[in-house]
Every structure is written in structure tokens, then in C-alpha cells.
């Protein structure tokens, strides 16, 4: 793992911890409010759904950096050991290329969302733009592409 990879993983793990902490706390608050006060925070469910997206994409980034992402292991069992490293480099390069293409589309989606100024939810007089929460889509794809790119030259298959 390169120093850049380690640094990114540290930040991604902190983001996951923050997202999960907010998710647990806000979900618990929602249950208490509904159970004992017959009310809830109108914006909380929407916010929680978007936090799931953040936690999922950041988790995928950490998994990709550690080689724990989804992979087809059948070839690892039937191919000779000397072919595993080149095959791994090829699949990492293909994954990175596909993710860079996806990130361009996701970036266009984000810019469109930003341009329209759509509001995800309101907190009193504060209106939270949906672009603030959807920025994780292009950012997540770019981070995943970086992790796969860094794994191309990795010694581990």
C-alpha cells in the first residue's frame, strides 16, 4: 500500500465513522421522537438515506484499497501462479478505466444537480441543496479509480 493509499484510507475511514455515528444517533433520535412524542424530524429520513450512500461508497473505497472488493476468484484457482499478477494488473487497470468513465458521467449529473439548485430538504430557513449530498457519487467513483490505479503496480495479486 502506497503512502497516498494509506492517507486516503485514513480519511475514508474517518468519513465512514462520522457517517455511521450520525446515522445511529439520528435514527435513535427519530425512534425516541416517534415513540414518546408522536413526532419526528421531517428531514431526517432523507438525510439518512443519503448518508447510507456516503457510507457505502466510502466503504467500497476502503475495500478496493485492500483488495477486498468483489472479485471473481475462480480464475485464481485454475490459473498458474505466474499469471495471477499480470491478470490482477489488467483487471485493476480495466476497473480504473471504467470508473474514470463513470466518474465523468457522475460529475455531469452533479453539475446538473448543482445548476438546477434543487433542494433536498429544509431545516427551518436553511435549504440544503441536493448537490451537497450527491457530490459523493463522482467523488466516490474518482476515489475508487485512484485506489484501483494504485493497485495496478501492487506486488499482491
- Looking at the whole model, is its pTM more than 0.95? no
Q: Is the pLDDT confidence value at 156 over 70?
A: no
User: What pLDDT, in 10s, does the model give residues 29-53?
Assistant: 999 999 999 999 999 999 999 999 9
Determine which helix (DSSP H) or strand (DSSP E) holds 128, and give its type and residue range. strand 126-129
pLDDT band at 77 (very low <50, low <70, confident <90, very high): confident
Domain range list for the chain: 3-152
Residue pLDDT, tens place only, 82-134? 887 888 888 899 999 999 999 999 999 999 999 999 999 998 899 999 999 99
- What is the CB-side half-sphere exposure of residue 134 using CA atoms within 13 A? 20
119-123 and 126-129 as β-strands: parallel, antiparallel, unpaired?
antiparallel
Q: Which residues of 40-49 are buried (b: 16+ CB within 10 A; e: fewer)?
A: ebebeeebbe
Residue indicated by cell numbers 474517518 = 14
Amino acid at each position: 500500500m502506497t503512502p497516498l493509499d494509506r492517507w486516503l484510507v485514513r480519511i475514508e475511514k474517518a468519513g465512514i465513522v462520522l457517517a455511521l455515528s450520525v446515522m445511529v444517533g439520528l435514527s435513535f433520535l427519530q425512534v425516541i421522537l416517534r415513540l414518546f412524542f408522536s413526532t419526528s424530524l421531517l428531514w431526517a429520513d432523507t438525510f439518512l438515506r443519503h448518508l447510507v450512500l456516503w457510507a457505502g461508497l466510502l466503504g467500497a473505497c476502503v475495500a478496493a484499497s485492500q483488495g477486498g472488493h468483489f472479485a471473481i476468484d475462480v480464475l485464481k484457482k485454475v490459473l498458474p501462479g505466474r499469471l495471477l499478477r499480470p491478470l490482477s494488473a489488467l483487471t485493476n487497470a480495466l476497473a480504473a478505466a471504467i470508473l474514470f468513465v463513470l466518474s465523468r458521467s457522475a460529475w455531469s449529473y452533479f453539475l446538473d444537480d448543482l445548476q438546477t439548485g434543487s433542494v433536498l430538504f429544509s431545516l427551518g430557513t436553511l435549504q440544503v441543496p441536493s448537490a451537497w449530498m450527491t457530490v459523493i457519487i463522482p467523488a466516490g467513483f474518482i476515489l475508487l479509480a485512484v485506489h484501483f490505479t494504485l493497485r495496478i503496480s501492487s506486488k499482491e495479486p
